[in-house]
């Protein structure tokens, strides 16, 4: 087994299948590579470089033809699932078309893919042996543990903080009591110091490492946790409680480009939570999911706030992490172990391709709490909810005009004043619905308040 980790010769989950649209090409970035995802006539997902060899236009701006080839929008060149050019509209002579389409310069690099557990996986290696090499490794999927892996849906977001600080945070469970105070019962007052946090297997380049630790609050103090890091980007965590309950979190931190990371994850329980019947349960599925996603931003915004501040400070310090960090507690073992794996086997950072190093730029609050680019534009349920709210707002405006005009006519004509009052009430209700739908729609776009000071208050309850 190699003592060095290869960033490109590994499987990465790039998207839940539920987030992909087979009718259009989808752009993604992985390890600095611009890629495009699309589906061929056999309903297989294809991933290739997102650039046309003609003039380097993005193929993700193109469209899927009737024969299920991918057409470049710039000049109509078409490509099949093997990356071969099949059509050049500006060539008429058959021999010229054959020569140009058979030229290696007209071909686009295609990458191995597979589908497992509802995720599309990519092997981002462009060497000649990539399709052979990828068969020697399996993706880091959810392990067999007696839980129904389909019980909950995958969630995807792409955040404006980097891979290292993201993975590091997932091996630091004790932060929840402080950073997430007020959410899910977390509170500094309920903190319990960890009695142990240790590696149970040898750390290695390919297998990563496995940790076990005790609880860290009064609710899970009798819990035993196992956290396994499966390179390049998977954290599988299982909590086992003394009463037989169990929780599994499967989290992937996909390195897209410096300063950005794609999160894909789900939580699975072997027990159900009693929930009161809410109005939300009566909504169509996509709207229900959309509003559920909207309710989850508080915790992730708190994480973003701290991780961004970490990256900003680290960019000003010309020291290695172990000189910047002071890690004296058992609760710090997860952070130390991940950093040791990264330094010892993986070069200390992801191996970016086609990326020019830039000096670190701190984000504004508008950038940090931008929800459209973090999640909404990727999520079909949230996009459908935004579209629905836009239509509600438009219909409400028409309703305001109609009932306002009707009220005026009823006041001018010798008709019962009760009808005028009723019409006025409907006009006011329409105004309120319009304002509410507009505010809700904004909430899917940004975490900053619509009114008042543009400051994200993360600890207002």
Of 16, 9, 85, the closest CA to residue 51 belongs to 85
Q: Which residues contact 185 (CB under 8 A, 6 or more apart)?
A: 217, 219
Q: 1 falls in which pLDDT band (50, 70, 90)?
A: very low
**Phi, psi at residue 30, to the nearest 5°?**
-140, 120
Within 58-167, strands assigned E span: 63-64, 70-71, 78-79, 85-87, 110-111, 113-116, 119-122, 155-159
Is 192 in the same domain as 90?
no
Tokens of 367: 């950038």
pTM, entire model = 0.94
Q: What is d(CA 248, CA 241) in angstroms, rounded to the nearest whole number?
A: 12
pLDDT tens track for 145-161: 889 999 999 999 999 99
User: Residues 385, 347: one domain?
Assistant: no
Residue 374 lies in a domain: no
Find the CATH number of the domain harbouring 98. 2.102.10.10
Q: Kindly report the CA angle at 133 between 78 and 140, in degrees rounded to 5?
A: 95
SS3 for 317-372 is CCCCHHHHCCCCCHHHHHHHHHHHHHHHHCCCCCCCCCCCCCCCCCCCHHHHCECH
Per-residue confidence (pLDDT) for residue 358, from 0 to 100: 75
Tokens of 459: 């600890």
Instruction: Summarize pLDDT for 76-88 with one digit per residue, the tens.
Output: 999 999 999 999 9
Q: Is residue 294 part of a domain?
A: yes
Q: How many residues does the chain have?
A: 461
For residues 197 and 276, membership in a common domain is answered with yes
50 pLDDT more than 50: yes
Q: Do residues 189 and 304 share a domain?
A: yes
Q: Read off the pLDDT band of 356 (50, 70, 90).
A: confident
Same domain membership, residue 324 and residue 206? yes
Per the structure, the count of domains in the chain is 3
pLDDT of residue 398: 96
| Residue 242 domain-assigned (yes or no) | yes
- 164 with 127, same domain: the answer is no
Average pLDDT, the chain: 94
Is residue 390 domain-shared with residue 338, that is, in the same domain?
Answer: no
User: Does residue 173 contact residue 184 with C-beta atoms inside 8 Å?
Assistant: no
Q: 405: domain range?
A: 380-443
Q: Is the pLDDT of residue 127 over 70?
A: yes
Cα 389 to its chain centre, rounded Å, is 23
pLDDT tens-place string over residues 13-46:
999 999 999 999 999 999 999 999 999 999 999 9
pLDDT value for 92: 84
pLDDT > 90? residue 169: yes
Pair (178, 221) in one structural domain? yes
Q: For tokens 């086609």, name the residue.
A: 354
> What would the pLDDT profile of 193-211 be if each residue is shown by its tens digit?
999 999 998 999 999 999 9
Quick one: average pLDDT of 332-354? 96
Q: Nearest to residue 30, comparing CAs of 52, 7, 57, 46?
A: 7
Query: Do 277 and 202 reside in the same domain of the chain?
Result: yes
Of the residues 336, 354, 372, the one at which a domain ends: 354
Indicate whether 176 and 97 sit together in one domain.
Answer: no
364 lies in some domain: no
DSSP letters spanning 34-62: EEEEEE-TTS-EEEEES--TTT---GGGS
CA distance 171 to 46: 33
The pLDDT value given to residue 359? 78
Q: pLDDT tens, 231-270? A: 999 999 999 999 999 999 999 999 999 999 999 999 999 8
Are 105 and 53 in contact by the 8 Å Cβ rule? The answer is yes
Residues 6+ apart with CB under 8 A from 216: 173, 174, 176, 177, 191, 192, 193, 194, 331
Give per-residue pLDDT as tens, 289-306.
999 999 999 999 999 999
Structure tokens at 438: 């507009």
Query: Mean pLDDT, to the nearest integer, of 68-80?
Result: 97
Contact (CB, 8 A) for 117 and 149: yes
Report yes or no on 141 lying in a domain: no
Question: Is 367 contained in some domain?
Answer: no
In a domain, 308, yes or no: yes
Domain presence at residue 432: yes
Rounded Cα distance between 214 and 349, Å, is 29
Residue 261 belongs to domain with CATH number: 3.90.380.10
> Are 165 and 129 found together in one domain?
no
Residues 170 and 317 both lie in one domain: yes
């Amino acid at each position: 087994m190699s003592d060095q980790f290869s960033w490109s010769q590994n499987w990465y989950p790039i998207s839940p299948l539920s987030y992909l649209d087979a009718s259009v090409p989808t752009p993604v970035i992985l390890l600095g590579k611009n890629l495009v995802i699309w589906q061929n006539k056999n309903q297989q997902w294809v991933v290739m470089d997102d650039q046309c060899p003609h003039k380097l236009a993005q193929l993700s701006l193109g469209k899927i033809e009737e024969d299920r080839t991918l057409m470049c929008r710039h000049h109509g060149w078409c490509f099949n699932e093997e990356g071969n050019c099949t059509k050049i509209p500006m060539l008429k002579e058959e021999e010229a078309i054959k020569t140009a389409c058979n030229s290696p310069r007209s071909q686009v690099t295609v990458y191995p893919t597979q589908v497992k557990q509802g995720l599309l996986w990519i092997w981002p290696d462009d060497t000649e042996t990539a399709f052979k090499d990828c068969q020697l490794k399996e993706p880091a999927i959810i392990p067999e543990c007696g839980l129904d892996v389909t019980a909950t849906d995958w969630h995807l977001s792409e955040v404006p903080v980097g891979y290292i600080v993201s993975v590091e945070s997932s091996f630091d469970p004790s932060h929840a009591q402080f950073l997430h105070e007020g959410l899910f019962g977390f509170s500094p007052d309920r903190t319990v110091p960890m009695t142990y946090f240790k590696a149970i297997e040898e750390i290695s380049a390919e297998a990563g490492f496995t940790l076990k630790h005790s609880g860290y609050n009064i609710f899970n103090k009798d819990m035993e946790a196992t956290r396994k890091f499966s390179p390049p980007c998977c954290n599988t965590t299982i909590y086992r409680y003394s009463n037989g309950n169990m929780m599994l979190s499967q989290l992937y931190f996909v390195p897209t480009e410096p300063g950005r990371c794609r999160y894909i994850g789900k939580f699975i329980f072997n027990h159900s939570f009693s929930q009161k019947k809410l109005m939300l349960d009566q909504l169509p599925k996509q709207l229900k999911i959309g509003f559920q996603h909207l309710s989850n931003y508080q915790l992730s915004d708190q994480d973003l706030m701290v991780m961004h501040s970490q990256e900003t400070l680290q960019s000003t310090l010309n020291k290695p992490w172990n000189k910047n960090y002071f890690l004296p507690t058992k609760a710090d073992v997860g952070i130390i172990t991940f950093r040791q794996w990264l330094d010892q086997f993986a070069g200390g950072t992801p191996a970016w391709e086609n990326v020019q190093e830039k000096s670190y730029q701190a984000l504004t609050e508008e950038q940090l709490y931008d929800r459209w680019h973090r999640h909404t534009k990727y999520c079909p349920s949230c996009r459908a909810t935004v579209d629905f709210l836009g239509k509600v707002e438009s219909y409400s405006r028409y309703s305001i005009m109609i009932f306002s005009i009707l009220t005026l006519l009823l006041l001018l004509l010798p008709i019962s004043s009760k009808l005028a009052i009723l019409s006025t009430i409907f006009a006011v209700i329409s105004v309120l619905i319009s304002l509410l739908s507009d505010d809700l729609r904004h909430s899917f776009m940004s975490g900053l308040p619509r009114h008042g000071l543009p400051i994200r208050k993360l600890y207002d309850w």
